[in-house]
Structure 1
Amino acid sequence: MPRLILLWLLALLPPLAGAQAPFEDSMAQRMQACTLCHGKEGRAAPDGYYPRIAGKPAGYLYQQLLAFRDGRRHYGPMRELLAPLSDAYLQEIAQHFAQLELPYAAAQPAALPAQDLARGQALVRQGDASRGLPACSACHGEALLGAQARIPGLLGLPRDYLNGQLGAWRAGQRRAAAPDCMAEIAKRLHPEEINAISHWLAGQTVPVGAKPAPSPPKPAPMRCGGLP
């Protein structure tokens, strides 16, 4: 196991009974291992790939931690870090980050022509019924901030991360419980549309005090196995 991953893993694990803790025994202290990649307090890293995890719905975070640990999402360092952790401890991690109320980073300036951004906005807000594509807002909410307990927000995320995840669903590298609605949607999108959606979303300012909605929009446009 690479030395850096081993150090992260030791930081994540709860202290052994009877051992002298070398630091304050708190989730905030232990979760500093996560912020090495996900940025200060989980607010997203400046490299544009690691996502914001602070303030995401706890149910969503928990499902993603399970997915990395159990192989439905593929990223070696995450799987190594989470492999020895129990479901209960993953729940604690999810609850810790979900309850953080922190400012969002500034929007990323758009780097596409206006007509491409308009296409991205149209897909986010209206979808394309002729191709069976629901609007992103139909599940992620009109404010695009997600909903309790398992729907993530789409704002405040780096465009490279958004591009990467939609591409992973499209290529079958990321999976959710069947029926995998996001995989179906991503496979109906053209690569240039994924790029337009990612650029438009990353260019939106997140309002101060933004939080996920208390419940998902109804009715849902598609069946999704990852939702209760």
Structure 2
Amino acid sequence: MLRIILSIFLCITGLTSAYGGTPAVVPDTMAERVKACTICHSAEDKTERDAYYPRIAGKPQGYLFNQLRNFRDGRRYYQPMVILLENMSDEYLQEIARYFSSLQLPYPAPEQIPMQPEEIALAERLIYSGNSEKDIPACSACHGDTLMGIAPAIPGLLGLSRAYISAQLSGWRKGSIMRSQTPDCMSEIAKQLSNDEVNAIAKWLARQPVSGEPRPSSALLPELAHRCSQIIPENGGTK
């Protein structure tokens, strides 16, 4: 599909030439091919509606590949992504994932969101300790103690907007993000969160500066690796 978009662009520039303009020479590079992606997933700071499109630069390759494949195969649904990816092979999705995972771009500044002391305490308790009574593991147990993810398949939580984090957690709670016959660990966890807990987590994470690097897969506790095995397939989603 990206090649089709590139071909259409080349045809348009060819028409410009026919009417006296200078034809544009577009290099056949991955950076050019993924411009359809960066229309939404750019490196710029996102506000308002655009805040719902997350940053994908620098995310773990296995995580990006899993998400691209989920969209293509109908396990995760957002119509523009489904249309964009429907005819792409696993090999090409790996190329896209590899490209974006290699990008090291500046992060936006933390959001200036006021929080009450009790909200901060609630968020930090869930993020670093979880809630064993509700079978909610600490966010840091899966996403790393720096909250920058665990390679190759678990993303970081910093550098995302409050709107995006809140929307994702709410989507998991409603079952509108993943379509699967097997349990999804984030859906199971999110359904145990209250509205106040979702809001506190989203606010707290969006307020944090980005620092640190993704941890290796060995940092993930065996019981959590088993619980979320559907997002951490063999070879981190590279098969």
User: What TM-score comes out, normalization by structure 2 length?
Assistant: 0.81
C-alpha deviation, 1:155, in angstroms: 0.5
Matching residue within 123, 132, 136 for 1:120: 123
2:55 counterpart residue number: 52
Over 3 Å counting, the alpha-carbon distance change for 1:44 and 1:99 in structure 2 is farther
Between the two proteins, what is the percent identity of the paired residues?
48
Over 3 Å counting, the alpha-carbon distance change for 1:190 and 1:214 in structure 2 is same
Once residues 176 and 198 of structure 2 are traced to their aligned partners in structure 1, the CA distance between those partners, rounded to angstroms, is 16
Amino acid in the other structure paired with 2:130: G
Matching residue within 140, 150, 153 for 2:153: 150
Alignment of 1:158-197 (within 5 A): 158-175=161-178, 178-197=182-201
**Cα contact 2:149–2:156 (8 A) shared by 1:** yes
Once residues 94 and 7 of structure 2 are traced to their aligned partners in structure 1, the CA distance between those partners, rounded to angstroms, is 13
Matching residue within 64, 70, 87 for 1:67: 70
Over 3 Å counting, the alpha-carbon distance change for 1:9 and 1:193 in structure 2 is farther
For each residue in 1:22-48, what CA deviation from the matched residue of structure 2 results, as whole angstroms up to 9, or x when unmatched? Answer: 5111001111111110124xx664431
For each residue in 1:155-201, what CA deviation from the matched residue of structure 2 results, as whole angstroms up to 9, or x when unmatched? Answer: 11111111111111111112276341111100111122111101111
2:216 counterpart residue number: 214
Once residues 173 and 128 of structure 1 are traced to their aligned partners in structure 2, the CA distance between those partners, rounded to angstroms, is 24
**Cα contact 1:12–1:30 (8 A) shared by 2:** no
Once residues 7 and 191 of structure 2 are traced to their aligned partners in structure 1, the CA distance between those partners, rounded to angstroms, is 36
Structure of greater Rg:
2
Over 3 Å counting, the alpha-carbon distance change for 1:191 and 1:49 in structure 2 is same
**Cα contact 1:125–1:137 (8 A) shared by 2:** yes
Q: How many residue pairs end up in the alignment? A: 214
Structure 1 runs of 4+ with >6 Å offset: none
Structure 1, unmatched stretches of 5+, are 1-5, 16-20
RMSD: 2.5
Equivalent position SS for 2:119: helix
The structure where helix makes up a greater share of residues is 2
Query: Residue 131 in 1 paired to residue 166 in 2?
Result: no
Query: Residue 226 in 1 paired to residue 231 in 2?
Result: yes
C-alpha deviation, 1:109, in angstroms: 1.2
Amino acid in the other structure paired with 1:206: V
